Amino acid sequence: MHRRDLRQLSRLRIREARVLLRAGAFAGAYYLAGYAVECVLNACAARKFRPQEIPERKLVNDLHTHELERLLDIAGMHASLEREGAERTGLLAHWNVVKDWKATVRYNPRITSQAARELYSACAGRRSGVLSWLRTRWRSRS
């Protein structure tokens, strides 16, 4: 999958999460909000692949995870998060909500309104949302 497709999917999934949240479909909203972050992190991690080079097998295997904290590390963005989180009010608090998302939540129909709204806000918040921060990073190398 191409990085631009992952970025497009991220935008689509967060819009779908908003629609589901407004419709009261909290489990779907929760799942898609977290998945939007996963897509962006994969787009950022894809920067490590260079044309005409065979990537390390471990890197390729490691990318096949749904663990957001692990994907942040693979993308080489943990230090940036810490540094910018100190300057950007709320970013680290939002990351602490987002990092606990698990893909297996798709099997949990009992996500509460509060949990869905909290995750959506942590992901999509304009000033300190995780997605807005990640989107500033997905083109850069750091």
* Tens digits of pLDDT across the chain (142 residues): 788 899 999 999 999 999 999 999 999 999 999 999 999 999 988 887 777 677 677 777 677 788 999 999 999 999 999 999 988 889 999 999 999 999 999 999 999 999 999 999 999 998 789 999 998 876 654 3
**Domain extents in the chain:** 3-137
Query: 7-24: buried (b, 16+ CB within 10 Å) or exposed (e) per residue?
Result: bebbeebbebbeebbeee
Instruction: Kindly give, in sequence order, each residue whose CB lies less than 8 Å from that of residue 125, ignoring residues fewer than 6 positions away.
Output: 90, 94, 132
pLDDT value at position 65?
84
Domain 3-137 fold:
Four Helix Bundle (Hemerythrin (Met), subunit A) (1.20.120)
pLDDT value at position 139?
62
Distance CA 33, CA 131 (A): 10
C-alpha R_g of the chain = 15
